[in-house]
Amino acid sequence: MKFVSNHAAAVLGKVLVVADLHLGIEFDLRSKGVRMPLQWKATAAELSGLLKQTRCSELLILGDAKHDIYGMELREKEMMRSFFRSVLDFGCKKITVVKGNHDGQLQELKEEGFIELVGPSGGVFSVGGRKYGACHGHAWPSEEVAQARVLLLAHSHPLIEFRDSLGFRWFERAWILGSLRRRESRGCQKAVVFPAFNTLSGGLAFNSRPCRGLFGPLFENNLFELESAEARLLSGMPLGSVGVLRKQFGSG
């Protein structure tokens, strides 16, 4: 697997992999008084450009393709239909969505033939003789997914917090490269937590001190080796371990 420089995207064979598009988050922002135009066209164009740049023919979304967590209103359904159609019209041959906690009722678009849909427990993709388990991360991975050599996760929208000598703070999206403690029935040697593709969807600083609120059973049950995990900016710059970053920049 290769990361796409300066983008929250990776390449797995001929598949472009992204996570947490949260399309339609603008509807939520509008309800709170924020005037925000819909961004799905820009997202479709960006993904189509990345597909062409990386010479990928398929798109894999690791959950939360849409934003409304409670279902899919007509306006959101029409937006998602237009988004998927646009990406397919740009030359993408197949779109697969691993179902996230925001992806309620996406099966309706599967029935219309726009996407392939994988359940919350995830699925396995084989590339170059190596098996990759893919799941959103809000539910336990299946036994097959848990036994894959590499587990691809999303859901927590990883950020790294920085502070300077004047006390200013800022956050950068980051890849988190770590491993999972093995259990009798679950576990995986390596794990990659994908940053959110949508910059409006916020995130969690993995180096905050103490680090609370990381989502999903793998984090909640302390199965992810967080202290030793490596953080890497979208530019590809390695930052070192989360444990060291917590000591240097983590807020109390």
Domain that holds residue 92: 2-249
Q: Is the pLDDT of residue 186 over 60?
A: no
Report pLDDT for 185. 45
Residues 37-70: pLDDT tens digits?
Answer: 999 999 999 999 999 999 999 999 999 999 988 8
Structural Rg of the chain based on CA atoms: 18
Element (H, E) at 126: strand 123-127
How far is Cα 186 from Cα 146, in angstroms, rounded to an integer? 5
Q: Which of 14, 51, 18, 17 is nearest to 127 (CA)?
A: 14
DSSP 213: -
Q: What is the domain count for the chain?
A: 1
Residue 187 has a pLDDT of 45
DSSP bridge pairs for 169: 163
Which CA distances in Å does 22 have to 10, 19, 66, 82, 119? 18, 9, 4, 15, 18
Q: What's the chain's average pLDDT?
A: 91
Which tokens go with 117? 């849909």
Output the pTM of the full model. Answer: 0.93
- Cβ neighbourhood burial of 113 (10 Å; 0-12, 13-18, 19+): exposed
> Which pLDDT score is estimated for 210?
60
pLDDT surpassing 80 at residue 229: yes
Report whether 31 contacts 75 (CB < 8 A).
no
CATH number of the domain enclosing 195: 3.60.21
pLDDT band at 208 (very low <50, low <70, confident <90, very high): confident
pLDDT of residue 138: 95
